[in-house]
Amino acid sequence: MNHKSPTTPEPQYLKVKNHLRERIASGHWVAGDLLPSEAELVAQFEVSRMTVNRALRELTQEGLVERLQGVGTFVAQLHRISSSLTVRDVHEEILARGHRHDAKVHLLEKVRASAGQAQDFGIKTGATLFHSVIVHLENGQAIQCEDRWVNPACAPDYLSLDFTRITPTNYLLEVAPLSEARYSIEALLPTPEEAKLLSLSKQQPCLVVKRRTFSRGLTVTLVRLTHPGSMYVLEGSFQA
């Protein structure tokens, strides 16, 4: 009589899937990199081609990889993944609505990392960080205050750019292809500085998005995006 094990062993396809996911998250493979072929994965994990195919299919559905028939499987560009919480460029969002986008740069500076910032970026306390504060306007009305900290190792030319002509998001997606992004979204009151920059009362609720992005295993940027609650709607869709 056979007795079941108290713990169910991990399915073979999950071993393959989790291995590939962990390598992508760690920066071992970055956006655009070619992954091992199905035949190589079959040999490495000693599983069937069907098992490998399922792992790759699920990673494709999750937007982590792209499969090109007859070519291979590549790490996907994160900002091209269709999702309600992707890294979106405010300039493109505004243009898509048929409106005019303008940006006012209020701060662009080099600073020394605090102990907390050093921990967030994985650098030494006192090491250099870049800092910018930019207000984005739609048809002349302020809709977003962007308070951003940037890792110089990922974007060395950041301070030399004209952010009235190109957005930080657009630039960073080009120079540091993303492997991971983490978000938090809260309804908060603006800071005194945000209220002033967005022409709001200090008691007017805002939608605040805090985002951290990674490339090649490094933290690229930490950004706080503050939007007047009465003027901003977070939209998205999901399709199984």
* Residues 210 and 171 sit within 8 Å (Cβ to Cβ): no
pTM above 0.85, yes or no: no
Return the H-helix or E-strand segment holding 16: helix 12-25
- CATH for 83-231 (3.20.20.10, 3.40.109.10, 3.90.950.10, 3.40.1410.10): 3.40.1410.10
Return the CATH number of the domain spanning residue range 12-76: 1.10.10.10
pLDDT, mean of each 10-residue run, the chain (240 residues): 53 90 82 90 94 90 82 74 56 84 96 95 96 95 96 96 94 85 88 95 90 89 91 50
Question: What would the two tokens of residue 86 be?
Answer: 């992707």
Give the C-alpha separation, 195 to 217, whole Å.
Answer: 35
Q: Do domains 12-76 and 83-231 have the same CATH topology?
A: no
The confidence score (pLDDT) of residue 144 equals 94
Strands 218-228, 72-75: pairing kind: unpaired
The confidence score (pLDDT) of residue 59 equals 87
Q: What are the structural domain ranges in the chain? A: 12-76, 83-231
* Residues 136 and 215 sit within 8 Å (Cβ to Cβ): no
* Residues 210 and 220 sit within 8 Å (Cβ to Cβ): no
